[in-house]
Every structure is written in C-alpha cells, then in structure tokens.
Structure 1
Amino acid sequence: MSDKNKLTATFIALIAMIVVIGGVMMLSNGLNANNNGQGGPAAGVSRVTTGGPSTTKAGTTGEASQNGTTKENAANTATTETVATEAVTEALDSIEQRINDMSLHEKVCQLFIVTPEGLTKGGNYTAANETTKASLKEYPVGGIVYFSKNIESADAISEMISNTSEYAAEEGMIPLFYSVDEEGGTVARCAEKAGTTSFSPMYDYKSEGEKTAYDNAKQIATDISGLGFNLDFAPVADTWSNPANTVIGKRAYSDDFHEAATLSSSAVKGFQDGGVFCTLKHFPGHGNTSGDSHYGVVYSDKNIAQLLSAEFLAFRSGIDAGADMVMVGHITMNGVDRLPASISRIMITSELRSRLGFDGVIITDSLSMKAVADNYSSGELAVRVLEAGGDMLLMPADLGAAATGVEAAVAEGRLSEERIDESVYRILELKSKKMDITNK
C-alpha cells in the first residue's frame, strides 16, 4: 500500500471511530433522558406492557425533556462531525492538497536534485544570479547539490544558498533540498573550501566506537547546517570488504559488516541531531567491488542470501536508526537480475522497500556516471528508475531531457501520474519535517 493510501485509510478509520463515539454519546444522553437516576421511569413517563416489546407513553413533561435532549444530541453530533472533517482536511491539505495543486511538470521536476550547472545548462557557479532564478522558474527542481567548485568560502556558499532560497520563494516553489557530500575524510567539500571541521577518513575512527561515530557526524551536520545545507549525502554504509576496492576504501566506517552496521547507524543519529537530513549510501553495497561506477560498469556477483548476511546489515541498521534517504548505486547485480541496482525493481522495491522496510526517500547515485549514462539516454534512465520504485533522480546528464522523458512516459501510459504522486508525496513528507511546504 502506498503512503498516500495508508494515510487515507488511517483517516477513514479515525472518522469511523469518532462516529462510533458520537453514537455512544447519543445513546448515553438518551438513556439519561429516560432515567430518573434510580433505574425507574422518568417523571411524566409510564411503561405500558402489551405482551410484545415495551413501548413508552410520554406525558407533557417527558415530551419536553425528550425534545430538549434530541436538540442537544443533534448539536453534539454536528459538532463532532465538523471537528472530524476539519481534522482530516487539515492533515490531508498540508501535503496531498499541495500535490493536487501541482502540474505534472512541477511534480516531475520535484523528483530531481541537480548541480547549479545542471540547472542552468552550463557555466561554473559560485553565486546564484538571475540565470539561476530563470532556470528555477523553468525547472522547479526538488533540490540542488553543491561541489567543491561551487564553494569559494563559508560566506559565499551561505549567500548562494540564501539567494537561491529567496528566488524559489519568489516563484512560489516548494522549498529545496540544499545538499552536499560531506562524509569527513577524503570526501568533504565544506571542510576543504569553507573551513568547517576537518576529519580523518571515518575508517580511521572505527576502534573508537559508536560515540565517536555519533560525535563526528553531529559535528559535520552542525557545521554544514550553519552554512545553509539541510541534506548530507552521508553516511557511507558500504563495508570495505575488498582490500583492492579504492572507490570506497577508508570512506567506509569498517571492513567488518557487523561493525559497519553499528557505526553507520550511530552516524545516522548524529547527522540528524546535528540538524540535517542524512542518506545511507551506496545500496546494496559498493565496498566489495573492484571498479568505480563513475568511470564504467561495476559488477557484484552476490545473490540476495549472501547480501542479507553481509552488505545489507549496515543498511538495515541505518534504516532502523531512522535514516531519511537511501542512495542506490549503479552496481550491476549479476547474482540477482544482471541490472544496475538503480534501475532494478528487485533491488529497490522487493529488497530495499519491502524486505528491509525502508519507507523513506530512495535517491539514485549520480545519473551522469558512466556506469549508466553510457548505456541509457537521460530520459530512458529516469523512467527506468521510477519504474523500479526509486523516488529522486540525482544529477541527470541532461535535466531537460530527463524531465521530458518522464512526462512523455506518463502521457504514453508507461508511468501513471499516481506513480509520480507517490514519490512526490514521500519527498514532501520528508521536507515538511524542516520546511513549510504549504506557502505558495
């Protein structure tokens, strides 16, 4: 059942419960009206036995009392129904009504997180400007991701995010995710360019245990939140199980599956307590591969049973800790369906969503990576991600082509608009925890 359907079912149950309570109140009031408090007939009322069911013969006093009670019950029922209706409407309006007010193009754009250059179709941006504003109007995306080249200083990136936020508000857009890869160690854009706290690779802290994993994550989150970021593509939940692996290496918290699970879940809590949304990456696990999906196809020969006792441990633990997002990598799963995980319905819907129980936002790794970009057009790749059950599309090679491809798939019936709505709902539900998504 989709999140929207679950919510609707919950509120239907709520209405039913309120109606039952209202009925009990009416019955109670009716009994009080027909009782004198001692179990006998009320004043002015006598019982008449006819050999069949009991009937009531009302005198003038009882009739007046009964009429008064009837009016009171009617008023109580009307009040109860009004309160129930208002409660349901208010809860649904905050997310579902916003979706109902969005065009298909707006909903599709909400699925994308892009770089400043990907949004504006070129350039090298260290400041938001009128081109940024015009591009947001054309493509009201769900978020922007910043890299080292976009960060000149702490003040500059803060101003860039602030100005972008103002432009989005002027256009009546839903507030954006402002994201960055800030893992600590070798992947730390803000520590490198904005002077935030610098850390060694997370692997170097593995012997210090859960508290250090939590403290490091909280400090990173506190630092980047102060710059204006609200989403970190961290922690790394991969386990460095293959010593020859260089794309993950010491970015991982451990080379032991159980230890990686414990430490990465502690990091989840640290990032959240530091004030940002966090992302487990790179499902189903990139630490056992020998290649780098940035530059070509990468394979895993493991089957589901093998993954469950190894790579999945850290993702399950992080999900149980409350991770906001999970990033799916482009590892081709030879032991499962021979598809990149990012477009695999088995990996995303059957395993991540159903088996591991993740009901948050599922985002892809960069769709510009050669592991997938060399084999699929931007439009086709975006559609396949959504068909597999993904929610957000990170850094397509061509934003316009990707958005057009999704819209065309809806028009052709390959994707339903309800499928788009499901992902938009998850995105807005997450955003609503830190942002006002109702203002237009």
Structure 2
Amino acid sequence: MTDPRDTLPALAPRTRRIHPAWWVAAVAFVALMAAAGFRAAPGALMVPLHDEFGWSTSVMSLAVSINLVLFGLTAPFAAALMDRFGVRQVVATALTLVALGAGGSVLMTASWQLLIFWGLLIGLGTGSMALVLAATIANRWFVARRGLVMGILTAGSATGQLVFLPPVAALAESVGWRAASLLVAAIALIAVPIVWLVLRDHPSDRGVLPYGADAATWVAPPRHTGGAGRRAFEGLAFAAKSRSFWALAAAFAICGATTNGLIGLHFIPSAHDHGMPTTVAAGLLAVVGVFDIAGTIASGWLTDKFDPRKLLVGYYVFRGVGLLLLPWLLADVVNPSMVLFVVIYGLDWVATVPPTAALCRELYGERGTIVFGWVFASHQVGAAIAAIAAGVTRDVFGSYTYAWWGGAALCAIAAVLSITVRRARGTARRVPSDQGRAYPASQGDGV
C-alpha cells in the first residue's frame, strides 16, 4: 500500500527556489567522492608498499581483487538495505567502514593483513554506497533529469580520484604511505555527519514531490519493508530470466575490467616500469578524473535523449582503441599522444553507467535499482579478475603489454553485447526528461 504521507507533497507550497532533491543529490555526491578516495589510493601505494615490505605485485593485486569483488557483490544487498533501513543509516555506516579500513591499514606488518584492510573493510564500505546509491537517489528523488543526475553522481567517484589521488601519491612519496592512508580515513569520517544531517530516504520526508513530478498524475511507488537479502535475490531471479540482463552484466563486467581492474590499479606501476615518476603517473590518472566528470555528466544528458545501447557501443569502441595503442604511448615523459589517451579514456571512463542504469530501469521497473546492483556486481567481478590477471601477467612476462591488448579485445566483445540488448516495449520513442515523466516499467525480453 502507498504510504499516506506520500499524498502530502501535493499540498506543499511551491515557494522553494532550490528543490530539496538537489541538496540530497549534492550530499550523495560528497559521500561518493569520499568513498572514492581509498579506491583510488592502492595504485599509488603499491610501489611504496613493495619498497617497504617486498610484497609482490600479485599479492597486492589479490588484496585489491577482494576489495573489488566485495565492492560489487555488496551493491545489490546495499540497495535492498537502503529500502529496509534507510539511505542515511547505510551510507553513514559505509563511510565508517572505509575510515576503519584506511586508518587500520597503517598498522599492517604482514601481507595477509592487507586482505583485511584493503580487501574486506574497504570493499564492504565502498560497496554499500557505490553506484547503487546514485541509482537510488536518482530514481527516488527525480523524475525529470534522471539521466543527468545519474551522470553527476557517478562523476562523484571521478571527483574523488581527482581530489585525493595527487595528495595521496605526494604524501606516499614525501612522508610515507601511512600518512596517505590516514588522510583518506579522515575525509571519510568528515563526510559522516554531513550525510546524517542532510540525506533523507524519500521526497515525502521533506514534504515534496520528486523533482519534475506532476502533482496531478504522480503516484508514489510502494515502500518495501521485507528482508533485504530476500529482495536482492528476488530481483536477481526476476532479471535472470532475461537475455538482456546477461548481456548487460557481461558488458559491464568488461567495463570494470578495463577501468578499475586495469587502468585504475595498474597504470601507475606500468608507467613506473617505463621510467615515469609515480607522482607524474598519478597526476595523469587525476586528469582522467577531470575528463571523467565531463564525460559522465555528458553521458547522462545524452542518455535522456538517445538510445542507450548505441551510446554503449560507441563508448566501448573508443576504449578498446585506447587500450590497443597504450603500449606504444607509455614513456618516461608525458608526450602529446599520452595526453590524448588520457583525455579520451577520461571522457569514456564511467560514461557507460548512465545508459546501463537507464536500461535496467526500463526493463525491470521498480526492481531496476536492485537489478542494476547485480549488474554492477558483475562490473566489480570483472575488475577483480582483470586486476589479478594483469598482476600475474606483469610478474610472468615483465610487462603489462598483453594485459592492455587483452582489454582491447574484451571491449570489442562488450560493444557487440550492448547492441544485442532488447529495449522494453514502448521506449522506441523516448520522452524528453524535462517533461517530468518516468520511464515505463514495461517488460523486457523473456521477463
């Protein structure tokens, strides 16, 4: 049944200059940015950890792989937990876990402890927010501009990389990796009270309708109170009947492999192999973050206007070309061709998220956020496999070249998978988002 409070927003005065949805989105952006800090840090900390402890690239890659798997597998359960206990409670707890993992890592003396701090705690904490937080905020608080908001919130991770990676790398090189880890822990803790004060679960909690909703036609979706685990698995069972779900999941696994798994973790060590200073390589990844912000927001805007499948094909093709050429671009100095790679890869980094989330919403209706959580889980599984595979490749062949070329081949497969996704009926002609209408919750192929 619909909560009676959901009828109240129609009576609320229309005198607010800024809709509360934008404040909620802004705080969610800050939370995502804070969580991104430590997810960006391992690439900058691998060389200092190797120098101090002698740990191999494979061992450190294994810790990050555990992080990435938990980051992904936690997502669908986090979406259900947000339904059950509230967004504010889940996000505040997640940020605390990130702080514990980052701060506790300064006590490490053995490689297995890396699996606890980098892997378990950081993986669970960041996975409890991740992109399911972005999808939850966009779907609950916005009817108009959903794609754009999803793009902006997704860019929060890129902003975290942009803001934190250069100082993390500089601290790790000048003061030590422990100071860098403590910086990330402090930022995560600072974000907790901001989240607690501003975030709310539903627009009715602020006495308003979702942004862009028509008071005459808006019907609030039912609120779910069942067990989080049961709802997460029910969402998976529902989506698994659809061929499009498996195509989206496989393509998004490749997305994770070619971003977090390869470039995010191994670009700095690979550049170091070619004689480039760690701080310079970290600066290049930060520039990737700059252009990622622009690319992801633009992708959200494009998703509101065009067929998401065609956007995905273009994104994967451009990414594959970049990876194919990367072995010839790396050098001990930054040349113009490397700058071009950074710009293109940055624009493409997580531009795949808004169209993928939109397709989940179109195909699976009110289950769309949880289904997107499972698709995102595949993203992180792909990232984890690529992270450890690239580390082993480096240890065996003494170079990352085959890892980059393998990523390029995977991107070609992802492009093919994306175009095979069948749109939900009734979405051939998309309604512009500024008309305040939601995507139809129609059935997709085999659902």
TMscore range, shorter length: under 0.3
**Larger of the two Rg values belongs to structure:** 1
- Higher relative contact order at CA 8 Å, sep ≥6: structure 1 or structure 2? 2
TM-score (norm 1): 0.21
The structure where strand makes up a greater share of residues is 1
Structure having the higher helix fraction is: 2
